[in-house]
Amino acid sequence: MKTPIRYAGGKSKAYKIITEYIPRLPYPKRIISPFIGGGSLESKWSSELDIPVHGYDIFDALVNFWCVLLSRPNDLADKLRELKPTKEEYENIKEILLSGITHKICSRIGILIITREKQYN
């Protein structure tokens, strides 16, 4: 099964190499993927090997995409049809996504700094 998105830094070309490390007989009950990205490996494992996959990623918008795709694919398709494939629309969406990431990264860095200050002072 192919995934609907391409993701920079994807692992799809390493599918055979990585899959060799999955134990056989019995297959694992599930696979936990901490860096799901575009999900190419995970969707293949799920469909070809019939192994449930739990995917995670630090990029919240990506995780949200997968959650909506898996739980409400028709709603997602309807919303995507409403988008106009223009440079302006692309720039607007990119800005929204990046502003959320910047806020979350800054918040996490702030928490790390506060934690470090309490620990070492």
Domain map of the chain by residue range? 1-82, 84-121
Specify the higher pLDDT residue, 1 or 73: 73
**Mean pLDDT for the chain overall:** 79
User: Of 6, 78, 75, 79, whose CA–CA distance to 38 is shortest?
Assistant: 6
Contact in structure between 37 and 9 (CB atoms under 8 Å) = yes
Sign of CA dihedral 94, 85, 74, 37: negative
Residue located via tokens 């019939």: 50
> What does pTM read for this prediction?
0.66
Over 80: is that where the pLDDT of 105 sits?
no
Instruction: Tell me what the mean pLDDT of segment 81-98 comes to.
Output: 82
- For position 90, what pLDDT does the model report? 84
Q: What is the DSSP letter of 9?
A: T
